[in-house]
């Protein structure tokens, strides 16, 4: 895992994270123009958000089947805070903080890796 230092505060307010289960069906929309490896998805119950395209079987688009469980939680981070990145996907890191909270953070928030 990489240790990364945040170069700015980051928090998304009023967000209901999209969580998807293996085999779940979703309706897909447009690819994100900034993060093209992510695509807009909506569940049958109306929840929506961006999901990595490689977590979906897009063969029957606009319907897709979830091929990897997805947790859409966005992690809150403060400038100078060190977090651990478990992996990076399409410009976002799945990471955890010192308290064990997990979530996604965009790559642009980190000035350098401290350790591998």
Kindly report the pTM of this predicted structure. Answer: 0.89
Asked if the model's pLDDT at residue 115 lies above 60, the reply is no
DSSP assignment of 34-101 equals SSTTEEEEE-TTS-EEEEEGGGEE-TTTTEEEESS-EE-PBPPB-TT-EEEEEEEETTEEEEE-TT--
Helix (H) or strand (E) holding 8: none
- List strands edge to edge, sheet with 48-52: 48-52, 38-42, 25-31, 63-66, 56-57
Give the mean pLDDT of 86-100: 95
Q: Supply the pLDDT for residue 32.
A: 94
Q: What is the pLDDT of residues 5-51, one digit of tens each?
A: 999 999 988 678 999 999 999 999 999 999 999 999 999 999 999 99
Q: Supply the pLDDT for residue 116.
A: 46
Determine the length of the chain. 116
Q: Where are the domains of the chain?
A: 2-13+73-115, 19-71
Q: Hey, what are 78's tokens?
A: 């403060």
Q: What are phi and psi of 82, to 5 degrees?
A: -100, 130
Q: Supply the pLDDT for residue 63.
A: 95
Asked if the model's pLDDT at residue 71 lies above 80, the reply is yes
> What kind of architecture, by CATH, is found in domain 2-13+73-115?
Roll (2.30)
């Amino acid at each position: 895992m990489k240790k990364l230092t945040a170069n700015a505060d980051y928090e998304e307010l009023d967000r209901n994270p999209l969580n998807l289960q293996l085999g779940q069906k979703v309706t897909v929309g447009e690819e994100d123009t900034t993060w093209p490896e992510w695509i807009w998805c909506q569940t049958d119950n109306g929840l929506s958000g961006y999901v990595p395209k490689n977590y979906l079987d897009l063969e029957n688009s606009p319907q897709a089947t979830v091929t990897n469980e997805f947790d859409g939680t966005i992690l809150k981070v403060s400038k100078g805070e060190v977090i651990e990145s478990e992996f990076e996907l399409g410009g976002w890191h799945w990471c955890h903080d010192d308290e064990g909270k997990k979530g996604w953070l965009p790559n642009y928030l980190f000035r350098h890796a401290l350790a591998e």
